[in-house]
Structures are given as C-alpha cells and as structure tokens.
Amino acid sequence: MRNWLGNDGNWIVAGLAAAITVPLLSFAAGMPFWIAIIIALLVFAGLVILLAPRRLFEGFDIKSIGSGRVAFARDLLEAAVPFAQRLETAADTINDRQMAAAVRHLAEIAADVFRKVEAKPESANAVRRFLSYYLPRAAEVAEGFAVIEAKRVPDPKQLEEVRGVLVKLEEAFVHYADSLVDEELGTLDTDLRLIQASLKEDIGR
C-alpha cells in the first residue's frame, strides 16, 4: 500500500547515499575531501526532496469544493491510515496463509477507499464509520488473531471465532468501498432516464 502519510525512509536513503558519496569522490576519484563533503550534502538534500512521499490532497484544487470538506476528509484519512498499515503488519505475522491473505485484502480495500476519498473529498462522510470504526476494529482483530496463533497451543475455538469476525468485517469493507461507487452510479441512473425520455420524445422510442 502506498505510504499515505510518509515516514523517515527518504532521510535514511539520502543519508546512506551521502555517506557513500564522500569516500567514492575523495578516495576513488581523488577529489579533495572538502569538495566531496559539499557534493555529498547536495546529494543528501536533493534526495530528501526527491524521495519525500506525497502528502494527502497534494495538488488538489481545494477551492473547488471548499477547505472545510477537504480538512474533514484529511482528518479522517490521517487518523485511519495507521490502522491500514497495522493490518499489513499483522498480515506479515500471521502464519495461516488464508487468513494472512484475507487481512491483506482488507488493507487493499482500505487503500482503495483512501484513493476514492482523496479523489473526491466530499464523499468522506459516506465512509466515516468505516474509517473511524470498522478499520480500527479490523486492525485490532487481525492483531488478536496473530497473538492467539503465536501461542504454543492455540485455542482452535478462539481462532475460529476471530476468523468469523474477520470474514464479517470483509463484508463491511466491501460494502463501504462499493458505496462510493454506487454514489457515482446514482448520477448515471439519472442521466440514463433523461436520455431515454429525450429519445422517446424525439424519435418515439
């Protein structure tokens, strides 16, 4: 899943590149040490900017729908993203391949919802409960499955109970993801009715 909020990865990569640049230029290329240092700093600064993850709603025309709606959507997404990341982490720790795949699927659906909300911030309210309730609960349940599974003698009844909850959560995830699509199809249905009415009026069909 895309890193929506970003992390310090760009700083680490830039630091490693700068650290490698100094000995390469100074010893391998025979360049004066102080020049190698300057170039390394430029490399570091350039990579930090180049590799910086894109922020939420970066480049979005806020005036087109209003700053209030964008701020509302941003707050929801920023609070929700860590839970989607926790789903991915939990999936990596689950040994049961089927359950690990199911948890990853939840994270993928969450990422799809994030993309749709970022593309259309005014739709955020339609998935508010998903972002603020179902997604956090799904992360907790997935982590709980991993904890139970890690026991020397896991309780089969507990595992099956958690498995059933995750299946139900997947249904909720799909419902909310599809609700964003259904919202757009509502306009299509209206357009189709208008077109059919126009055709009937113009050509009698």
Which helix (H) or strand (E) segment holds residue 143: the answer is helix 135-149
Hey, CA dihedral for 116, 119, 120, 123, is it positive or negative?
positive
Least confident of 111-115, 131-135, 139-143, 184-188: 184-188
pTM above 0.85, yes or no: no
Residues 34-51: tens digit of each pLDDT: 677 777 777 767 665 565
Confidence of residue 67 (pLDDT cuts 50, 70, 90): confident
Helix H, strand E, coil C: the string for 6-54 is CCCHHHHHHHHHHHHHHHHHHHHCCCCHHHHHHHHHHHHHHHHHHCCCC
What is the per-residue pLDDT for 4?
47
Question: What are 163-186's pLDDT values in tens digits?
Answer: 999 999 999 999 999 988 766 655
Which tokens belong to 3? Answer: 């890193």
Q: What is the pLDDT averaged over residues 47-65?
A: 57
Distance of CA 202 to the CA centre of its chain: 48
CA distances from 160 to 83, 101, 148, 150 (A): 23, 16, 11, 15
